[in-house]
């Protein structure tokens, strides 16, 4: 798993609050700049219109009234019939309305209007006014941002306290040994005082569920131990009895065929029980692993499968293009490959069953009845058997193969065509890590 997938609740909540604070801050800053722009573009223009109206009213009362001349605003009046020499050169030819004049680092907004006394020019230093608006906007902006950050921090602290019981519970459960979980640590009198409500309910649920799992594992362990002894013993007796009957000289052909069936079925049942017991083991580490040559395992399984051919015109072939070893439970590999080989022999009435060993893979091909497209979709399901070719077996062989393939990460590929045959390839990606000398 990646590092990001291990981030806890605190980190996720912290990131959420940080993103929230950043988003609100950006919105506030943009709001202040938008307010400054509105102030410059709307309010200042309105102020210029009102100043012009006021100046005209003063001129009506007193024709000698002087025009405004302040730090931020200047006014000019070009009376009717007078020269425009008193008007700055960059404003003389401006038409009526608002105009922006830029000169070096200055930016002036000019409002030109017509009155009974002449043409009126009002000029305001827009850059200076904008700076003032922005400056005075920074004060409330700073206060708002401080309020946002303080509120976010307090909320974050409160949230951490709210989830701290869940975090404590997660860390406590994480420290347990899976084989011997410490349920007593979640007793109500041993938990921190702030563990209450939903956290307490979660702790009780974990304890109850953990105890049920422990009881289940114990029952499974007992079953595996008992089955290993109780099932193998009668099978051993059956096999030994069949061996004795096979050695009888006066046994007729009919009786000998039945003895062979008993012996073969007992051997298949022994392999099936071995597979079930291996699957029932608690973990991969519970299976003994050793270094072995896969070629040797394939030869042994092919030798066991020869008796299944009987009188059928089927040729069992082994092609060894390479020799490779694994560090894994050899019984698992034997059961996996043995099921594939026996399955191929069982469903092939004539032709061949060919096992090919290449570097890091084993391929089992046959010229048997094959599988239809519908069968291919269900071939790995437990107790499934192809509709067009049902014969002996319980339909669990390929299911066992698939489960072992997934458990030990040995990819399996299956292709088949009804009436043509089936090809199954098992790959062993970790084969190269083992020295194969003197093991084949």
- Asked if 310 and 387 sit in the same domain, the reply is yes
Higher-pLDDT residue of 84 and 316 is: 316
Question: Greater confidence, 131 or 171?
Answer: 171
pLDDT digits (tens, 9 = 90+) for 202-211: 888 888 888 8
Q: Are 306 and 412 in the same domain? A: yes
The answer to whether residues 120 and 112 touch, using CB atoms and an 8 Å cutoff, is: yes
The mean-pLDDT minimum among 269-278, 347-356, 360-369, 406-415 falls in 269-278
Task: State the total domains in the chain.
Answer: 3
Does 193 share its domain with 323?
no
Q: Which of 158, 154, 160 is nearest to 21 (CA)?
A: 154
| Per-residue confidence band for 106, with pLDDT thresholds at 50, 70 and 90 | confident
Q: Give residue 426's pLDDT band: very low, low, confident or very high (50, 70, 90).
A: very high
What pLDDT does residue 108 have? 83
More confident residue, 359 or 385: 359
Distance (Å, rounded) from C-alpha 286 to C-alpha 31? Answer: 65
Judged against a pLDDT cut of 60, whether residue 317 lies above it is answered with yes
Q: 114-118, 191-195, 224-228: which has the highest mean pLDDT?
A: 114-118
d(CA 179, CA 106): 79
Task: Check: pTM over 0.85? Answer yes or no.
Answer: no
- 43 against 394, higher pLDDT: 43
Mark which of 230, 264, 292 sits at the end of a domain. 230
Judgement on whether residues 215 and 338 belong to the same structural domain of the protein: no
Alpha carbon separation from 257 to 243, 253, 286, 390 (Å, rounded): 13, 6, 40, 22
pLDDT of residue 423: 94
Answer yes or no: do 128 and 192 share one domain: no
pLDDT for res 70: 83
Same domain? For 429 and 303 the reply is: yes
- 176 in any annotated domain: no
CA 322 to chain centre: 38
Residue 243 maps to a domain: no
Q: Please, what is the average pLDDT of the chain?
A: 79
Which tens digit of pLDDT belongs to each residue from 286-314?
567 788 999 999 999 998 888 788 788 99
User: How confident is residue 379, by pLDDT bands cut at 50, 70 and 90?
Assistant: confident
Q: Write down the pLDDT at residue 289.
A: 79
Residues 205 and 329 reside in one and the same domain: no
Average pLDDT of the residues in 160-184: 77
Per-residue pLDDT, averaged over 211-223, amounts to 78
Q: What angle do CA 387, 420, 414 make, to 5 degrees?
A: 75
Judge if 18 and 138 occupy the same domain: yes
Residue 316 clears pLDDT 80, i.e. is over it: yes
Res. 2 pLDDT band, cuts 50 70 90:
very low
Q: Are 322 and 287 in contact (CB under 8 A)?
A: no
Q: What is the pLDDT of residue 281?
A: 61
What are the beta bridge partners of residue 414? 424
Do 333 and 193 fall within a single domain?
no
Does residue 308 form part of some domain?
yes
- Residue 37 is predicted with a pLDDT of 67
Q: Which of 196, 230, 264 is the last residue of a domain?
A: 230
The pLDDT score that the predictor gives to residue 120 is 92
State residue 87's pLDDT score: 86
Task: Identify whether residues 297 and 422 lie together within a single domain.
Answer: yes
Q: 90, 121, 143: which is the final residue of a domain?
A: 143
Strand positions, DSSP E, 66-193: 73-79, 97-103, 106-115, 118-125
Mean pLDDT within 155-179 = 77
Q: Where are the alpha helices (DSSP H) in 191-329?
A: 198-230, 232-246, 253-280, 294-309
Task: Please report whether residue 168 resides in a domain.
Answer: no
Tell me what the mean pLDDT of segment 158-166 comes to: 76
Cα separation of 292 and 285, whole Å?
Answer: 17
Q: What pLDDT shows up at residue 7?
A: 59
Residue 373 reports pLDDT greater than 70: yes
Q: How confident is the model at residue 382 (pLDDT cuts 50, 70, 90)?
A: low
Segment 28-51 mean pLDDT: 75
pLDDT of residue 1: 43
Q: Is residue 269 part of a domain?
A: no
Are both 314 and 413 inside the same structural domain?
Answer: yes
Residues 334 and 385 both lie in one domain: yes
Provide the pLDDT for residue 3: 44
CA 53 to chain centre: 70
Q: Please tell me the distance from the alpha carbon of residue 345 to that of residue 26, in angstroms, as a whole number.
A: 73
213 part of a folded domain: yes
Per-residue confidence band for 434, with pLDDT thresholds at 50, 70 and 90: low
Which pLDDT belongs to residue 121?
A: 93
Between 324 and 264, whose confidence is greater? 324
* Integer Cα distance of 75 and 298 in angstroms: 105
Q: Quick check: is 381 in a domain?
A: yes
Q: Is residue 437 over pLDDT 70? A: no
Give residue 132's pLDDT: 63
- C-alpha count within 13 angstroms, C-beta hemisphere, residue 134: 10
pLDDT of residue 354: 95
- How many angstroms separate the CA atoms of 74 and 97, rounded? 16
**How many helices (H) and strands (E) are present in the chain, helices listed first?**
10, 11
Q: Which range of residues forms the domain containing residue 418?
A: 283-433
Is residue 275 included in any domain, yes or no? no
Other beta carbons within 10 Å of 156: 18
């Amino acid at each position: 798993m990646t590092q990001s997938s291990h981030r806890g609740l605190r980190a996720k909540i912290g990131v959420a609050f940080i993103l929230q604070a950043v988003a609100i801050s950006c919105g506030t800053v943009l709001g202040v700049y938008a307010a400054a722009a509105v102030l410059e573009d709307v309010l200042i223009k309105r102020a210029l219109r009102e100043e012009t109206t006021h100046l005209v009213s003063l001129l009506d009362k007193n024709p000698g009234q002087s025009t405004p001349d302040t730090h931020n605003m200047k006014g000019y009046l070009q009376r009717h019939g007078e020269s425009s020499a008193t008007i700055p050169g960059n404003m003389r030819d401006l038409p009526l309305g608002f105009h922006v004049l830029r000169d070096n680092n200055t930016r002036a907004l000019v409002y030109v209007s017509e009155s009974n006394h002449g043409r009126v020019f009002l000029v305001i230093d827009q850059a200076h006014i904008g700076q003032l608006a922005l400056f005075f906007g920074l004060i409330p902006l700073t206060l708002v941002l401080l309020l946002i950050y303080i509120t976010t921090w307090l909320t974050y602290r409160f949230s951490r306290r709210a989830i701290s019981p869940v975090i404590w519970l997660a860390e406590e459960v994480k420290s347990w040994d899976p084989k011997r979980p410490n349920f007593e640590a979640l007793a109500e009198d041993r938990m921190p005082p702030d563990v209450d409500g939903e956290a307490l309910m979660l702790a009780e649920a974990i304890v109850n569920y953990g105890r049920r799992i422990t009881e289940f594992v114990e029952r499974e362990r007992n079953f595996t131990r008992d089955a290993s002894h109780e099932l193998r013993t009668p099978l051993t007796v059956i096999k030994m009895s069949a061996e004795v009957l096979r050695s009888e000289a006066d046994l007729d052909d009919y009786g000998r065929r039945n003895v062979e069936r008993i012996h073969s079925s007992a051997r298949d049942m022994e392999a099936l029980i071995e597979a079930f017991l291996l699957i029932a083991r608690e973990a991969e580490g519970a299976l003994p692993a050793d270094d072995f040559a896969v070629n040797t395992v394939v030869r042994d399984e092919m030798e066991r499968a020869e008796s299944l051919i009987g009188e059928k015109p089927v040729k069992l072939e082994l092609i060894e293009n390479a020799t490779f070893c694994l560090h894994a439970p050899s019984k698992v590999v034997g059961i996996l490959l043995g099921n594939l080989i026996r399955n191929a022999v069982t469903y092939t009435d004539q032709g061949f069953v060919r096992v090919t060993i290449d570097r890091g893979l084993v391929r089992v091909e046959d010229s048997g009845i094959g599988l239809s497209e519908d069968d291919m979709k269900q071939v790995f399901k437990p107790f499934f058997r192809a509709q067009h070719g049902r014969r002996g077996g319980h339909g669990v062989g390929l299911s066992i193969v698939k489960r072992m393939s997934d458990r030990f990460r040995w990819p399996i590929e299956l292709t088949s065509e009804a009436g043509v045959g089936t090809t199954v390839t098992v790959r062993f990606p970790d084969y190269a890590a083992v020295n194969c000398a003197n093991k084949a």
